[in-house]
Amino acid sequence: RLDEIRPWLSRLFNKIDRHHDDIVQVEEFEMHDADVAIIAYGVTARSAKSTVRLGRKRGLKIGLLRPITIWPFPKEQVQQLSYQVNKIVVAEMNNGQYVLEVERVVGGRCQVVKVVHADGELISPEEILSHLEV
């Protein structure tokens, strides 16, 4: 019954809002001087980290923001990133739902590009690298 469920949902969402900063976790890799950032989570973050290493060897200033928790969304970290870089590449193994949230939070401050696979095939470092030119 909705009259019973709504108070519980409200309580849960309020609890998440109150503890947002304790829940949200991200890892930054080579972001200190990055002009381009990759946002990737889960198994795709491994390919993204390899992309950063490969790109850095080629002289590119790229870094990785890896959300450890994908919800609640790391809004503050992505907003800050949008002021720091010229481009954000979002690599994800689905139809691009996460990139929509990134675009919303970035608000046009920098270019956002998606690299998506919804077929179960892993995204390779080379594929991510092909989207990095500023």
- Domain CATH code at residue 68: 3.40.50.920
Do 32 and 63 form a contact (C-beta atoms < 8 A)? yes
> What are 46-75's pLDDT values in tens digits?
999 999 999 999 999 999 999 999 999 999
- Bridge partners (DSSP) listed for residue 43: none
Do 102 and 52 form a contact (C-beta atoms < 8 A)? no
Alpha-carbon distance 89 to 75, whole Å?
Answer: 16
Within a domain: 33: yes
Q: Note the pLDDT of residue 52.
A: 98
Determine the angle formed by the axes of helices 75-84 and 97-106, rounding to 10 degrees. Answer: 60
Alpha helices in 1-134 (DSSP H): 2-18, 20-23, 43-57, 75-84, 97-106, 125-129
Within a domain: 6: no
Structural domain of 67? 25-129
Within a domain: 10: no
Within a domain: 14: no
Q: How many domains does the chain have?
A: 1
Within a domain: 3: no
Residue 89 pLDDT greater than 90, yes or no:
yes
Alpha-carbon distance 113 to 99, whole Å?
Answer: 8
Q: Strand, helix or coil at 53?
A: helix
Within a domain: 18: no
Q: Note the pLDDT of residue 17.
A: 87
Within a domain: 13: no
> What are 4-53's pLDDT values in tens digits?
899 999 999 899 889 888 899 999 999 999 999 999 999 999 999 999 99
Within a domain: 4: no
> What are 103-123's pLDDT values in tens digits?
999 999 999 999 999 998 999
Neighbours of 64 (CB within 10 A): 25
